[in-house]
Amino acid sequence: MKTLPDANRRYAIQRLLAITSIASSALWISACGRKLPKAAAIPPGATVLALGDSLTRGVGASAAQAYPALLAERTGWKVVNAGVSGETSSQIAARLPELLQTQRPALVILCAGGNDWLRRNSAQAAQAEIARMLQLCKSQSVPVLLVAVPELNLTAALTGRMKDHPIYEALAKDEKVPLLVDAWSEVLGDDALRADQVHANADGYARFTELLQAQLKASGFLPA
């Protein structure tokens, strides 16, 4: 049996993972018993707000290797990196009203909750804060793509077995927003894609961006 060269084998594995991620998202929508309508495509040059904490900021890599910078390169969008290291969901929520007013985004990519899990804050309180952000965006007719974050704790960090926190599926169902599932769980569960136990490295942010693009296409924000 002929063996593929290492580069080809790695490419094949990456393509399979991307296809699996899209299939997982489709299954999640089906499991919720609903199908969200396709969103309107966001044109090149439009402002997209990447809102979150250190995973959005790009800690563990350079600014040019953070996912907002990579996404801007690949889409032609003006992606504003509004990630602040160490912030909890309530702190992120406090910044959102001014950001919506000053940036006027065509889309918000929301990734919050990781620091709530690290600090063992109430999951119920974090869910309420994220719901408040989703509702504020909806009230201003700004679409949102919600990003699921794994429940970051010592056991998960030591074993490398990451799983999305269940609040994100509940939030996406209740607020009727598209959800990116398993992306950070995949990245942070792979030693080769991490700078430390809770942050990606350059390869990790690149992998996350690939998964994010696939979901943006599946949701309609990017042309397929």
Q: Nearest to residue 20, comparing CAs of 188, 182, 185?
A: 182
165 among known catalytic residues:
no
Residue of 54, 89, 185, 219 marked catalytic: 54
Choice among 25, 165, 182, 199 that is catalytic = 199
**Residue 78 φ/ψ, nearest 5 degrees:** -90, 100
85 is catalytic: no
Q: Which of 30, 62, 174, 196 is catalytic?
A: 196
Rounded-to-integer distance, Cα 146 and Cα 53, Å: 14
Phi, psi angle pair for 196, to nearest 5°: -155, -165
| CA 166 – CA 106 distance, rounded (Å) | 27
Reading the block at residue 140, the tokens are 């201003």
Is position 199 annotated as part of the catalytic site? Answer: yes
User: Which positions are catalytic?
Assistant: 54, 196, 199
